[in-house]
Amino acid sequence: MTHILVTGGAGYIGSHACKVLHQAGYVPVTYDNLSTGWAEAVKFGPFEQGELSDRTRLDQVFARYKPAAVMHFASLSQVGEAMREPGLYWRNNVVGSLTLIEAAVAAKCLDFVFSSTCATYGDQDGVVLDENSTQIPLNAYGASKLAIENILRDFGVSHGLRSVIFRYFNVAGADPEAQIGEFHQPETHLIPLMLEAIDGKRPALTVFGTDYDTPDGTCIRDYVHVMDLVRAHVLGLKWLQEGKPSRVFNLGTGSGFSVREVIEHSRSVTNRAVPFVEGPRRAGDAVRLVSGSVRAISELGWQPERSTLDTMIADAWRWYQNGGYAR
């Protein structure tokens, strides 16, 4: 059996990756400190609790399972927090990832799939971003991810580490079978916040900024279904296993939706009103972020099959109504 070490495998995206890895015949080994993940989400392989910064613990896990590759999701990812506490992001994301990379190299585990972000591009309004777009991150979250990309390239030169890096924006939806889904404490993502408002779990959704230079004044983002996203990660793993070189892929639909459009689609899908209030802009938020996926489609054979807004909301709503992990 081929083991894959999945950092952050108890989190939202990582747990879905574990399910798809299991379906593809791999054994996903979740490595997670449960600071933002859920033990209940670990359903598809072994669980090892630990910190990215704990080299001794990482060495133990590599020795026990001898994974063929690493799939690295574990990170802090809240833009507002990154603006307030940049040191936290540099310490956790960069130093933790460096420790993981060094442990992988020491264990001769030289295939590495990394969950990066299109936030490394910053705010480049009016364009569809591709892998060659200039990287000018606006906050410590995007900057920390860019630093990790550079670390991976350096270790590729020095130690033969091969990596597939995925850059993407807003991930949405849930496992269509509702075994796992999106649940954070505190919740910060638009669609689950909206579902909580619809369900009366919070008084209203706050729309941060209504005076942006967009058709309706609210930010525009590219949304990708979580199942489409993690299937791309498995394709990236196979790319490396076939001996192909390190590569960067953007994952997106090439079009974006404003916050107001997401609200309207949610009202239509759930057949319920969405209570919301207007608030000020958040520091670090870009106006419009849309990513193309020409390279992923042409080279990996990736297709975003479930990444329509209505499907993402419907799957998230089904998961939400199923009860989540700890509501």
Residue 126 pLDDT more than 80? Answer: no
Residue 143 pLDDT more than 90? Answer: yes
- Same domain, residue pair 54 and 203: no
Q: For residue 271, is it within any domain?
A: yes
Looking at residue 123, its pLDDT comes to: 79
Cα gap 203→197, rounded to integer Å: 6
Positions marked catalytic: 141
Q: Is 32 exposed, middle or buried (0-12, 13-18, 19+ CB in 10 A)?
A: buried
Looking at residue 80, its pLDDT comes to: 78
| Sign of torsion over alpha carbons 250, 31, 40, 205 | negative
Looking at residue 255, its pLDDT comes to: 87
- Same domain, residue pair 215 and 235: no
Residues spanned by the domain of 61 = 3-172+223-251
Residue type at 16 in one-letter notation: H
- Same domain, residue pair 154 and 24: yes
- Same domain, residue pair 135 and 25: yes
102-110 average pLDDT score? 98
- Same domain, residue pair 98 and 206: no
- Same domain, residue pair 260 and 308: yes
Looking at residue 149, its pLDDT comes to: 98
Given pLDDT bands bounded at 50, 70 and 90, which one contains residue 73? Answer: very high
Q: For residue 182, is it within any domain?
A: no
Q: Are β-strands 27-32 and 288-289 bridged in parallel, bridged antiparallel, or unpaired? A: unpaired
Residue 327 pLDDT more than 70? Answer: no
- Same domain, residue pair 65 and 46: yes
pLDDT tens, position by position, 25-37: 999 999 999 998 9
Find all residues with CB under 8 Å of 265, minimum gap 6, and list them.
257, 309, 310, 313
Looking at residue 326, its pLDDT comes to: 58
Residue 102 pLDDT more than 80? Answer: yes
- Lowest-confidence region among 50-59, 137-146, 176-185, 270-279: 176-185
- Same domain, residue pair 233 and 302: no
- What is the pTM assigned to this prediction? 0.94
Answer for the pair 22, 45: CB distance below 8 angstroms, yes or no: yes
Q: For residue 12, is it within any domain?
A: yes
Residue 85 pLDDT more than 60? Answer: yes
Task: Please report, for the domain that includes residue 200, its CATH number.
Answer: 3.90.25.10
Please state the domain count of the chain.
2
Cα angle value 277/282/286 (rounded, 5°): 115
pLDDT tens, position by position, 175-228: 999 999 998 777 888 999 999 999 998 999 999 999 999 999 999 999 999 999
Cα gap 247→162, rounded to integer Å: 8
Question: What proportion of the chain, given as a percentage, has pLDDT over 90?
Answer: 82
Looking at residue 205, its pLDDT comes to: 92
Structure-block tokens of residue 19: 């399910």
Q: Count the neighbouring beta carbons within 10 Å of the beta carbon of residue 157.
A: 8
**φ, ψ dihedrals at 130, nearest 5°:** -125, 180
- Same domain, residue pair 246 and 113: yes
- Same domain, residue pair 166 and 302: no
Mean per-residue pLDDT over the chain, rounded: 94
Given pLDDT bands bounded at 50, 70 and 90, which one contains residue 105? Answer: very high
- Lowest-confidence region among 148-157, 169-178, 237-246: 169-178
The secondary structure of 222-284 as a DSSP string is -EEEHHHHHHHHHHHHHHHHTTPPPEEEEE--S--EEHHHHHHHHHHHHTS---EEEEPPPTT
